[in-house]
Structure 1
């Protein structure tokens, strides 16, 4: 059985909205403000994560974000790895994915992802995909969270966690400093409470 890992970049106060500043959010662009060594080390951490994955699971908007930034035509170790991985995109509107090795999941999300999880033998990494991730969390399909925390608080904006019908206990399994100012927090979901 596979393991679903939800991987995200967020601010200290949990904001995930408009990290690159392209969406018009007044506090957008917080991702690039770290700059330099931190982003170089961030890239190494995310590349290593990709090499540990067996598949990617993406919502339509995150899929389109990757495609718009040219990942499908990039080269280099990290890009080659992402391009070679099977990609499963949850969407009711996407018909012809442009990124190779992509499959669109059009059925009921929980059923489709549960089936994939049973069929996969490794990590399926969910990058961003906050709407999808929240559905997966609500239905206890996420096994691990990897949260790259950026050293800024915005005070407003769309947060990583949405409302849930119940508590979601987690256990911290790793803390790692990335560069000089980022922190990678890894939590596993606790199911035996």
Structure 2
């Protein structure tokens, strides 16, 4: 059975919105505040996560975000190469438009039911990047097995948070924490169900 891993870049106050500053919210681009040394270590962590994955899961908007930045065609490097080869599952109620990233399956219908089926079909890690609304839905249905939070030392103050209104409190167990370069911390949690 597959293990669903939510992998997020997150500010110290829980914001996941606009880490690259491309959404014109005025508070983004906290990703650019880390140093080059840290960015190199961060890229290693991301590559290793992708190498350990059997599939990617994302919402339509996150999928289109990756496409618009050349991940399907022009992005170079081992991480981009690995993401191109992985099977990708995109939750979308509408048809995907534009270029295809390759190995893409659109999941439609009842999202929790479709993701539960996906977890039964895949043996290994299914990594979910971004996709805040999708994370919330899957969290509410106890389908998330692990949270990997790359924490940035910045208080954004406003913006979409990873968790807002949940139906119930969930206890988590800290599995691992470690510094990433000079600026970041990676925290890995598992829900206690």
TM over 0.5: yes
Aligned to 1:65: 65
Aligned to 2:166: 164
Aligned to 2:157: 155
Structure 1 residue ranges (4+ consecutive) displaced by more than 2 angstroms after TM superposition: 94-97
1:77 pairs with 2:65: no
**Root mean square deviation of aligned Cα:** 1.1
Aligned to 1:123: 125
Distance 2:95 2:28 in 1: 27
CA positional deviation for 1:8 = 0.1
> Matches of residues 15-164 of structure 1 in structure 2 within 5 Å?
15-73=15-73, 74-95=75-96, 98-164=100-166
Distance 1:17 1:71 in 2: 20
Distance 1:3 1:115 in 2: 12
Distance 2:61 2:178 in 1: 29
Structure 1 unaligned blocks of 5 or more: none
Aligned to 1:183: 185
TM, length-normalised to structure 1: 0.96
CA positional deviation for 1:95 = 3.4
Residue 41 of structure 1 aligns to a residue in which SS? helix
Number of residues of Structure 1 aligned to a counterpart in Structure 2: 191
Q: Indicate if the aligned counterparts of 1:60 and 1:94 stay in contact, CA closer than 8 A.
A: no
Distance 1:172 1:185 in 2: 7
Q: Indicate if the aligned counterparts of 1:58 and 1:127 stay in contact, CA closer than 8 A.
A: yes
CA positional deviation for 1:162 = 2.1
Distance 1:66 1:94 in 2: 17
Residue 140 of structure 1 aligns to a residue in which SS? coil
Structure 2 unaligned blocks of 5 or more: none
Residue 186 of structure 1 aligns to a residue in which SS? strand
Distance 1:94 1:7 in 2: 25
After superposition, give the CA deviation of every residue in 1:29-88 in whole Å (9 maximum; x if it has no partner).
111111311111111100100000000000011111111110111343211111110000
